[in-house]
Amino acid sequence: MANITVLGCGMVGSCIAADLSNEHNVSVIDYNRQNLDKLAGKYKVNALQNDLSDLSIVKDVVNDADLVVCAVPGFMGFNTIKAIIEAGKNVVDISFFPEDSLLLDDLAKQNNLTVIVDCGVAPGMSNMVIGYHHKRMQVDNYKCYVGGLPVYRDYPFEYKAPFSPIDVLEEYTRPARYIENGNILIKPALSDPELLNFPEIGTLEAFNSDGLRSLLFTINCPNMIEKTMRYPGHINYIRAMKEAGFFSNEEIEIAGTKIKPMEFTSKILFDKWKLNDNDDEFTIMRMIVEGIENNQKVRYTYDLLDRKDKKTGFSSMSRTTGYACTAAVNLFINNKFTRKGICPPEFIAEEDGCFEDMISYMNERGVIYNVNRIMG
């Protein structure tokens, strides 16, 4: 049993803390008292209210931890991770911050720490799938399609945010990087839409998003791309808002008050896109790995369809992200993954047995990745 501190008690942080509390001593820190009380009322956790934007507080609250889970919003992630490393603590992170995590590699190694970053569903399991196969075969093509969506399609956006809306908007504004014929190419987010049909869901629309992250530099594969999926028509509304300037971070003045349009937009959409406790939703994912294995052409397809857990109330995005994180936490606690420095998930999958343990751990919690292997 380990002492684990979870920073952040949002939708995913709560799920992580609840799962870990079954086997470990868990403290969870957040500024939102309501979220803390809700979690502590159901699970055996030590819930503490603190402002994690103050990095001196971060260093103080992790003092007694054997390992820290960082589940703060993305815009806070990089500096929070840096503070945790400076405090001398191992960490598993799901904040998905936009900065390059490898900039902290030297600092983590100097402190002899394991820092697992991007350890969710995508990025996270998407990294592990290609990391696993890349170590064991020649991978020539990799595609990842992923989306978290509400069952009820509320006009006009037909979307609910399963995590911080500001992080969702980042997907719509950050240029998308992908690999084609061995070269890194950059296209605007929301570009190259394509339609995919899923028997249990119907037709979804996928578009370019900047989801490869560390894979751009750690995996030698000539063709890699990730796309985000929404209901058809969603990206047309987002494109119109983007072109009209609603996502700009340049201040404008209204009646003598300066404001960034992005701040205004995120405030409005936070209420519009808020995923309420009674909302049904699902996470859907398809990963395709193609290449040469044992001198034969092979294609692996991983499919995931996960729905809200009505018993616990945890959303599918909380489950698929959170249980990937807690699986990695337990790998570290049980000394199955001991690599030092900044460790994106593909590094975990390279180690014998780790990927299988991750899949088994999530299977036990009802998060099922169905695998199809086709030769030739």
Q: Which of 106-110, 112-116, 308-312, 345-349 has the lowest mean pLDDT?
A: 308-312
Average of per-residue pLDDT across 144-164 = 89
- What was the pLDDT predicted at 61? 96
**Fold observed for domain 3-121+315-365:** Rossmann fold (3.40.50)
203: nearest Cα among 131, 264, 134, 149: 149
How sure is the predictor about 1, in pLDDT bands with cuts at 50, 70 and 90? confident
Residue 177 has pLDDT above 70, yes or no: yes
Residue type, 107: L
How sure is the predictor about 162, in pLDDT bands with cuts at 50, 70 and 90? low
User: What's the predicted TM-score (pTM) here?
Assistant: 0.93
Residue 85 has pLDDT above 80, yes or no: yes
Write down the residue that tokens 């697992």 correspond to. 116
CA 375 to chain centre: 31
Average of per-residue pLDDT across 93-112 = 95
Give tens-digit pLDDT for 278-308.
Answer: 889 999 999 999 999 999 999 999 999 999 9
Average of per-residue pLDDT across 72-83 = 95
- C-alpha distances out from residue 133 to 18, 51, 179, 348, 352, Å: 32, 41, 17, 12, 12
123 neighbors 324 (Cβ within 8 angstroms): no
Residues 238 and 166: their CA atoms lie apart, in Å, by 14
Joined together, the tokens standing for residue 176 give 């998308």
Joined together, the tokens standing for residue 52 give 């994690």
Residue 169 has pLDDT above 90, yes or no: no
289 neighbors 142 (Cβ within 8 angstroms): yes
Residues of the chain within CATH 3.30.360.10 domain(s) are 125-307
Joined together, the tokens standing for residue 8 give 């952040």
Residues 317 and 15: their CA atoms lie apart, in Å, by 10
- What was the pLDDT predicted at 163? 66
- C-alpha distances out from residue 41 to 18, 186, 322, Å: 11, 47, 19
How many residues does the structure list for the chain? Answer: 376
Instruction: Please name the helix (run of DSSP H) or strand (run of DSSP E) that holds residue 12, with its range, or none.
Output: helix 11-20
- What was the pLDDT predicted at 68? 98
Residues of the chain within CATH 3.40.50.720 domain(s) are 3-121+315-365
In the chain, what is the straight-line distance between the N-terminal and C-terminal CA atoms, in Å?
A: 47
Half-sphere exposure of 53 (CA within 13 A, CB side): 4
69: nearest Cα among 56, 58, 57, 55: 58
148 neighbors 317 (Cβ within 8 angstroms): yes
- What was the pLDDT predicted at 300? 98
- Ramachandran sector of residue 369 (left: φ over 0; alpha: ψ -120 to 50; beta: rest): beta
Residue type, 208: N
Residue 332 has pLDDT above 70, yes or no: yes
Residues 162 and 231: their CA atoms lie apart, in Å, by 15
CB-CB neighbours of 249 under 10 Å: 9
Q: Which of 137-151, 254-268, 362-376 has the lowest mean pLDDT?
A: 254-268
**Fold observed for domain 125-307:** Dihydrodipicolinate Reductase; domain 2 (3.30.360)
Average of per-residue pLDDT across 207-227 = 95
- What was the pLDDT predicted at 277? 78
Residue 186 has pLDDT above 80, yes or no: yes
How sure is the predictor about 92, in pLDDT bands with cuts at 50, 70 and 90? very high
Give tens-digit pLDDT for 238-290.
Answer: 999 999 999 999 999 999 999 999 988 988 888 888 888 788 999 999 999 99
pLDDT averaged over every residue in the chain: 94
Joined together, the tokens standing for residue 327 give 């699986």
Residue 148 has pLDDT above 70, yes or no: yes
Core vs surface per residue 21-44: b (16+ CB within 10 A) or e: beebbbbbbbeeeebbebbbeebe
Core vs surface per residue 93-102: b (16+ CB within 10 A) or e: bbbbbeeebe
